[in-house]
Structure 1
Amino acid sequence: MYQAAVPDILGRTKEDFFNKIVNMLKETSDICYNQIKDIDCLTFLTKPEASMFALVKINLPLLEDIKDDIDFCCKLAKEESMIILPGCSVGLKNWLRITFSVEPSTLEDGMARLKSFCQRHMKKQ
């Protein structure tokens, strides 16, 4: 019933609104990609484009007390109050689905907490 209103709403929305959203997603995609590149136990296979989330592989052998993606996400939520979707929920065991459709400052804070979490759980050399 409400879906019938969508074409009218989109037609009345000014172009600068869409441009602002697209530019923010480009910026946050770059932030997410660049920050995660510096976290040894997480790997991007490709930089996210035309989306609002990234899929990131967990390198479990580098972590000393994380057994899988669910364990990673549960401990991250408990220790850093940060929620990331475990990859197994979308059919990718030991991956993470990270949403970056937030304000850049919020994402930068989240990336700092994610990095801190990973550093605490890295195997000691």
Structure 2
Amino acid sequence: MGRLNLTSGPPTFIQAAVPQIPEKTGEDFFSKVIDILREAAHICYDRIMEIPCITCPNKPEGSMFVMVKLNSSILKDIIDDMDFCLKLAKEDSVIVLPGVALGMKNWLRITFAAEPSDLEDGLGRIKAFCQRHAKKH
């Protein structure tokens, strides 16, 4: 019976192609990608500002994700960032990385490298999730 070796590195044929990709890709492609990411960052920041239980200390620039602070004390049945992410995935099919995975308890990492319409939908689901779980005053 043969052996199977699994590695986490990329296959060699991909490694050989990587140096040629930037050289053969037109400048307009990169400009369009940057414009799309800039628009997505604005959408993400604006929608996050509408959600009381999460705070965005810095508007994202030069990345594809944003770190936001979770205030679980204003949510009735959410213990921490892990609980938030698990319930959000189960109830609304939205995947957000809990900050504890990055050593940042009660933070969330939201990726905005998506089509603007998908991003609006996902952030709308997060807002609705937070409204359903908000403590009643």
TM-score by length of structure 1 reads 0.97
1:41 CA displacement = 0.5
Q: Which residue of 2 aligns with 1:30?
A: 42
Describe the superposition over 1:53-89 as per-residue Cα deviations: whole angstroms up to 9, x where unpaired: 0000001111110001010000001110111110001
Task: Output the CA distance in 2 between the equivalents of 1:74 and 1:5.
Answer: 38
How far apart are residue 51 of structure 1 and its match? 0.2
Matched AA of 1:65: D
Q: Which amino acid aligns with 1:50?
A: G
Unaligned runs of 5+ in 1: none
Quote the Cα distance in structure 1 between the aligned partners of 2:61 and 2:15: 27
Larger relative CO (CA 8 A, sep 6+): 1 or 2? 1
Q: Displacement of 1:4 after TM fit?
A: 3.3
Give the whole-Å Cα distance in 2 for the aligned partners of 1:8 and 1:76: 41
Question: In the alignment, which residue of structure 1 is the partner of 2:6?
Answer: none
Are 2:115 and 1:103 aligned? Answer: yes
SS at match of 1:11: helix
Q: 1:6: Cα distance to partner?
A: 1.4
Corresponding residue pairs, total = 125
Q: Which aligned pairs between 1:60-71 and structure 2 lie closer than 5 A?
A: 60-71=72-83
Q: In the alignment, is residue 84 of structure 1 matched against residue 96 of structure 2? A: yes
Q: Are 2:134 and 1:122 equivalent residues in the alignment? A: yes
Q: Which runs of 5+ in 2 are unaligned?
A: 1-11
CA RMSD of aligned residues (A): 0.8
Greater C-alpha Rg: 2
Equivalent-residue separation in structure 1 for 2:92 and 2:108 (angstroms): 16
Q: In the TM superposition, what is the alpha-carbon distance from 1:94 to its structure 2 partner?
A: 0.6
Aligned: 1:3 with 2:15: yes
Q: Would you identify which runs of 4 or more consecutive aligned residues in structure 1 move more than 4 Å?
A: none
Q: Does 2:35 match 1:18? A: no
Q: For 1:34 and 1:56, how far apart are their aligned partners in 2?
A: 13
Displacement, 1:8? 1.1
The structure richer in helix per residue is 1
